[in-house]
Amino acid sequence: MSIDLKTIKHISKLSRISVDEKKAEKLAGDLNSIFDFIEKLNELKTDNVEPLTSVAETTLKLRSDEVKSKNLRDQVIKNSPKENEDYFVVPKVIE
Amino acid sequence: MMSDITKQSLSELVENIKSKKLSSSEVTKAFVERSEKSKELNTYITEDYANALNKAKKFDEKPNLDLKLPGIPMAVKDLFCTKDLRTTAGSKILNNFVPTYESTVTQNIWNEGAILMGKLNCDEFAMGSSNETSFFGNVQNPIDKNLVPGGSSGGSSSAVAAQLTPITIGTDTGGSIRQPASFTGTVGLKPTYGSCSRYGIVAFASSLDQAGPMAQNVKDCALLQEVISTYDEKDSTSIDFKRNEYSKELTKDIKGKKIGIPKEYRVDGMPKEIEDLWKKGIEYAKDCGAEIIDISLPHTNYALPTYYIVAPAEASSNLARYDGVKYGFRAEGENLIDMYEKTRSEGFGAEVQRRIMIGTYVLSSGYYDAYYLKAQKVRKLIKNDFDDAYKKVDAILTPSTPSSAFKIGEKTNDPVSMYLNDIFTVPVNLAGLPGISIPAGHDAKGYPLGLQIIGKAFDEQNILNIAYAMEEKINFKNNIIDWWIK
């Protein structure tokens, strides 16, 4: 299998990571060598194997729906890269 | 003597503080001073020395000597969220992030009287085996100049080996506690999945991540495991099982324990010194009264390829949250999408971007069944291997790593050769089992080598006991000459 530059551009779009030509070429090389290594799994027949989604064999516990954390609005907003007192600020979305 | 304080093990320091031979201030000052003299190792991302000294002073004014870690200073991996103290995960994208909450594991540690000294360097989002992917630079291994300390918990392994902190915690997704412990001649335990809460740990691969202790010896390691392992309702995969008082129940009596030797771990091209170390380990285990049994884990060779689908898939999903909106680094863009793409392109390092791309690809439409589902099925086969083996044995003995520590820059250009570092540790995470690495010898260059003991799920006590018994027979000494202190 070979991952071409077009596929890299597609994955980068899905990943929301911009890549220029140079980076795309480097990534294609790296990903191809990694997938060559991953292809080894195809040696195994797994038709009748149940997939393992979690090693923790527990069911999710229910809890009462109570607010436990304090109001940390100011501290939370402080971590924002661009703040406007009460809101997170992003580039204009609606024209 | 201040220098003598930092040479003491955690258990000795606890004893000396409890018997009032030492105060928390004396101990904290000694480790802070040694840390300050050791900047060249680049172990710390964020120092919090002034606060640590203040907290020590406060502790001494009203010491509670019934606690398990009374006034003990400790630096922790910068993957644990610490309330009001910057937490970066080794990434530019979290360079200025200050958590509003504390991770459960660190909270457990402070509840027992320990004092935070600072945050330790690590590979970016714990993705790496040499600490070279950190935005904050390489960490030096105190064993030798320009040698990697392992990864991803490289700042942690280096800080414990160099005695900048009496003990520490790391996280282990595919070997990130055990491999750096092996590279620095220290002890590292990856607990059973669900043993230590993941709440407040910056997530990498949620079905594999576990926090665990990194220490100078097995007894210290058992003591810290006892403190950090608690059931936590804030982590939906935390498991409510009966936890031992690991340090109190620690015993060297392992007579009659059945220890398995998996033939598939004898990998192609394994250096002779690793093979020899393993043989020596088998002899030590026999000397302790254990019974050695040959076993087979037939799908071992498929563990790394499985891991490199499962871990990046989970990472790509977990790291989707870093978008430059609510916290962390932001790059300006012409519109919202452009801002996301530039933020993530400039904010993540090369290895993290590579793994996000792999993960996105294997989860994308048309490839999910061929890769992700396939990997989950093979993961089941790997777990079945261990389940079968544990019908015959109580624990499994393997080397921790396929080589000793390598030089900085030696493997950075070849991701696959870097990934091979974790060949002996990754199967343990995939199966959710506990594993401990203990130092067991040196290679021809004098660099430490480790042995790994893998246990049944929730059987930390048993592998700690085996490690404790073998540690005495091995009698390992780290030869560190403080080359970085001028």
In the prediction, which pLDDT does B415 show? Answer: 80
What are the DSSP E strand ranges found in B73-225? 73-77, 115-120, 168-172, 187-190, 210-215
In-domain check, residue B221: yes
In-domain check, residue B354: yes
Closest residue in B to A13 (Cα–Cα): B341
A5 has a chain B CB within 8 A of its CB:
no
**Residue B29 shares a structural domain with residue B119:** yes
pLDDT digits (tens, 9 = 90+) for B25-54: 999 999 999 999 999 999 999 999 999 999
In-domain check, residue B391: no
Instruction: Please say whether the beta carbons of B439 and B452 come within 8 A.
Output: no
**Residue B82 shares a structural domain with residue B174:** yes
Contacts of B200 (CB under 8 A, 6+ apart): B80, B81, B99, B101, B102, B103, B104, B105, B106, B107
Query: Residues B129-135: what's their mean pLDDT?
Result: 97
Q: In chain B, which residues have their Cβ closer than 8 Å to the Cβ of A8?
A: 357
In the prediction, which pLDDT does B431 show? Answer: 98
pLDDT more than 70, % of chain B: 99
Instruction: Please say whether the beta carbons of A17 and A23 come within 8 A.
Output: no
- Angle at CA B219, nearest 5°, toward B425 and B454? 25
Instruction: Please say whether the beta carbons of B419 and B355 come within 8 A.
Output: no
* Interface contacts A/B by beta carbons within 8 Å: 163
| Closest by Cβ to A91, choosing from B97, B304, B333 | B333
Q: In chain B, which residues have their Cβ closer than 8 Å to the Cβ of A83?
A: none
- Taking all residues of chain B, what is their mean pLDDT, rounded to a whole number? 96
Confidence of residue B227 (pLDDT cuts 50, 70, 90): very high
Instruction: Please say whether the beta carbons of B216 and B167 come within 8 A.
Output: yes
Contacts of B94 (CB under 8 A, 6+ apart): B87, B88, B202, B322, B327, B328, B329
B360 has a chain A CB within 8 A of its CB:
yes
Does A51 contact B377 at a Cβ distance shorter than 8 Å?
A: yes
| Closest by Cβ to A80, choosing from B305, B327, B361 | B327
Between B271 and B313, residue with greater pLDDT: B313
Between CA B262 and CA B396 the distance in angstroms is 7
pLDDT digits (tens, 9 = 90+) for B407-465: 999 988 888 888 888 999 999 999 999 999 999 999 999 999 999 999 999 999 999 99
Q: Over chain A, what HEC string results? A: CCCCHHHHHHHHHHHCCCCCHHHHHHHHHHHHHHHHHHHHHHHCCCCCCCCCCCCCCCCCCCCCCCCCCCCCHHHHHHCCCCEECCEECCCCCCC
Catalytic residue among B25, B35, B152, B247: B152
Between A2 and B169, residue with greater pLDDT: B169
Q: Which of residues 370-409 of B touch A (CB under 8 A)?
A: 371, 373-381, 383
In the prediction, which pLDDT does B416 show? Answer: 81
**Residue B187 shares a structural domain with residue B75:** yes
**Residue B200 shares a structural domain with residue B71:** yes
In the prediction, which pLDDT does A83 show? Answer: 72
A94 has a chain B CB within 8 A of its CB:
no
Between CA B138 and CA B154 the distance in angstroms is 9
In-domain check, residue B250: no
Q: Which of B215, B245, B275 is the last residue of a domain?
A: B245
Catalytic residue status for B445: no
How would you class B1 by CB atoms within 10 Å of its CB: exposed for 0-12, middle for 13-18, buried for 19 or more? exposed
Q: How many CB atoms lie within 10 A of CB B173?
A: 28
**Residue B166 shares a structural domain with residue B37:** yes
CATH code for position B223: 3.90.1300.10
Query: Residues B303-316: what's their mean pLDDT?
Result: 97
B259 forms beta bridges with: B292, B395
How many independent structural domains does chain B possess?
Answer: 2
pLDDT over threshold 60, residue B67: yes
Please choose, from the candidates B12, B13, B53, the residue with its C-alpha nearest in 3D space to the C-alpha of residue B32. Answer: B53
In the prediction, which pLDDT does B20 show? Answer: 97
A51 has a chain B CB within 8 A of its CB:
yes
Q: In chain A, which residues have their Cβ closer than 8 Å to the Cβ of B88?
A: none
In the prediction, which pLDDT does B2 show? Answer: 52
Quick one: tokens of B55?
A: 């907290």
Between CA B41 and CA B486 the distance in angstroms is 12
Query: Residues B84-102: what's their mean pLDDT?
Result: 97
pTM, rounded to two decimals: 0.97
Closest residue in B to A64 (Cα–Cα): B233
pLDDT over threshold 90, residue B244: yes
Query: Residues B97-111: what's their mean pLDDT?
Result: 97
pLDDT over threshold 70, residue B3: no
Q: In chain B, which residues have their Cβ closer than 8 Å to the Cβ of A63?
A: 233
A62 has a chain B CB within 8 A of its CB:
no
Calculate Rg over the CA atoms of chain A: 23
Confidence of residue B1 (pLDDT cuts 50, 70, 90): low
Provide the ipTM.
0.95
Give the ranges where B201-334 is alpha helix by DSSP (H).
218-228, 272-287, 303-318
pLDDT digits (tens, 9 = 90+) for B337-390: 999 999 999 999 999 999 999 999 999 989 999 999 999 999 999 999 999 999
Q: In chain A, which residues have their Cβ closer than 8 Å to the Cβ of B348?
A: 17
Instruction: Please say whether the beta carbons of B214 and B185 come within 8 A.
Output: no
In-domain check, residue B443: no
In the prediction, which pLDDT does A53 show? Answer: 87
In-domain check, residue B95: yes
**Residue B209 shares a structural domain with residue B329:** no
How would you class B236 by CB atoms within 10 Å of its CB: exposed for 0-12, middle for 13-18, buried for 19 or more? middle
Does A78 contact B344 at a Cβ distance shorter than 8 Å?
A: no
Catalytic residue among B176, B197, B229, B400: B176
Catalytic residue status for B38: no
**Residue B239 shares a structural domain with residue B320:** no
Domain containing B53: what range? 2-245
**Residue B47 shares a structural domain with residue B140:** yes
Catalytic residue among B55, B77, B257, B411: B77
Q: Please report the DSSP string for B326-382 in residue order.
A: SSS-----SSHHHHHHHHHHHHS-HHHHHHHHHHHHHHSTTTTIIIIIHHHHHHHHH
What are the DSSP E strand ranges found in B82-150? 115-120
A50 has a chain B CB within 8 A of its CB:
yes
In-domain check, residue B90: yes
Does B416 contact A33 at a Cβ distance shorter than 8 Å?
A: yes
Between CA B300 and CA B381 the distance in angstroms is 10
In the prediction, which pLDDT does B414 show? Answer: 81
**Residue B326 shares a structural domain with residue B217:** no
Consecutive H or E run containing B4: helix B2-7
What's the gap between Cα B198 and its chain centre? Answer: 14
For chain B, how far is it from start to end, CA to CA, in angstroms? 19
Specify the residue for token string 């926090």.
Answer: B211
Q: Which of B324, B359, B375 is the last residue of a domain?
A: B375
Q: Which of B245, B271, B292 is the last residue of a domain?
A: B245
In-domain check, residue B281: no
Specify the residue for token string 């594991």.
Answer: B105
B261 forms beta bridges with: B294
In this structure, what is the dihedral angle of CA atoms B85, B89, B91, B93, given to the nearest 10 degrees? -70
Amino acid, single-letter form, for residue B15: E
pLDDT tens sequence for chain A (95 residues): 689 999 999 999 999 999 999 999 999 999 999 999 999 999 999 999 999 988 877 778 888 899 888 888 888 999 999 877 788 999 988 87
In the prediction, which pLDDT does A94 show? Answer: 82
Q: In chain B, which residues have their Cβ closer than 8 Å to the Cβ of A54?
A: 207, 237
Q: In chain A, which residues have their Cβ closer than 8 Å to the Cβ of B357?
A: 8, 11-12, 15, 17, 27, 31
| Closest by Cβ to B376, choosing from A44, A53, A79 | A53
